[in-house]
Structure 1
Amino acid sequence: MQRSRGFKSRSRKKLTKKPRTGRSNPITNKLQTFEEGDLVHIIIDPSVHRGQPHSRFHGKTAEIIGKRGQAYLLGLKDGNKFKELIVRPDHLKLQE
């Protein structure tokens, strides 16, 4: 029998929230807006499943290329390859 290697495999520590850190997912995360060219940090919110990027991109910094519906199109270098991600604003934080 072969073990499953699904989308969330080996991400137990990354995709868990600390208990009782206040409100679990404030509405302000969903309502934040970004402009093209902004740099954002990809911080996955495990309580929101829609628009989640793959766990390998957690903690990376990307540039906003465009918008697709409610989500944003991000561009980042992963090794030597340029990758595009479609991520909802719940999982993004503006770089300061």
Structure 2
Amino acid sequence: MRTPVEDTILDCECWAVHFEERQVKMPHSYGYRARTRDMFSRDFRTKGHLNATTYLTVYKRGDFVDIKCNPMIHKGMPFKHYHGRTGVVFNVTPRALGVIVNKEVNGKIIKKRINVRVEHVKPSKCQKENKGRALINDTIKRSVRGEELHAKHQRCYESLPQDVKQSIMNKERVNLVRTPIQPRKGYICKLDEELTTIQPAPFSDLV
């Protein structure tokens, strides 16, 4: 016959063995939307109803879009893996878009085709710089050749630097290749006072 103290000790030992066998690791929840508390939270001062621009934006096939899930709209929400990724539109429906997104699976990158509602996407700016630079180069080439400038080329020509416009007027060669940032130029620093050299004093043993 065991005493109550012995029963308590035996229960504690059994619970410890059971806990070691389970090897509980946190987190142990692997749901479809697990660990998305911060990912699917709205930004500061952006909560509330959606504006009309979300639904009036025109998307065409071949456009680049950024996938950003809106937790207020549960319909057509993509999987959490695609949140924050950029894809290409391959299909347009009345309320949703078909987007091609790259995904790494077992060391290989495959093209996934997903359907996402328009509330969870926005036009991407990944090609804004490239298209702007291409327009500037095309405007300069047309101006040097004396070709007709369309409305977009005229607006771009007005924003060109003054030295580039002067080169175009003089029919000079304009370098269209981007150059990296060059190191700072050297210069001579003139001092009004006499230069003083400071150096550490030699060590002398006090013993």
Instruction: Tell me, yes or no, whether TM beats 0.5.
Output: yes
Higher helix share: 2
For these two proteins, the number of residue pairs brought into alignment is: 96
Bigger CA radius of gyration: 2
Q: Which runs of 5 or more structure 2 residues have no equivalent in the other structure?
A: 1-27, 126-207
1:35 aligned to 60, 79, 103, which one?
60
Q: Which runs of 4+ in 1 moved over 4 A?
A: none
- 2:101–2:112: 8 Å Cα contact kept in structure 1? yes
Q: Which runs of 5 or more structure 1 residues have no equivalent in the other structure?
A: none
TM-score (norm 2): 0.42
Q: Is 1:12 equivalent to 2:37 in the alignment? A: yes
Q: Is 1:90 equivalent to 2:119 in the alignment? A: yes
1:47 aligned to 69, 72, 80, which one?
72
Higher strand share: 1
Letter in 2 for 1:15: F
Letter in 1 for 2:110: K
TM-superposed CA distance for 1:65, in Å, is 0.4
- 2:61–2:90: 8 Å Cα contact kept in structure 1? yes
Q: How does 1:51-70 map to 2 (within 5 A)?
A: 51-70=76-95
- 1:25–1:47: 8 Å Cα contact kept in structure 2? no
* Farther-moved stretch of structure 1 (80-89 vs 21-30): 21-30
Over the aligned positions, Cα root-mean-square deviation in angstroms equals 2.2
Question: Residues of 2 paired with 1:52 and 1:23: CA distance?
Answer: 18
TM-score (norm 1): 0.84
- 2:60–2:92: 8 Å Cα contact kept in structure 1? no
C-alpha distance 27-49 of structure 1, shift in aligned 2 (>3 A): farther
- 1:31–1:89: 8 Å Cα contact kept in structure 2? no
Question: Residues of 2 paired with 1:61 and 1:95: CA distance?
Answer: 7
- 2:89–2:99: 8 Å Cα contact kept in structure 1? yes
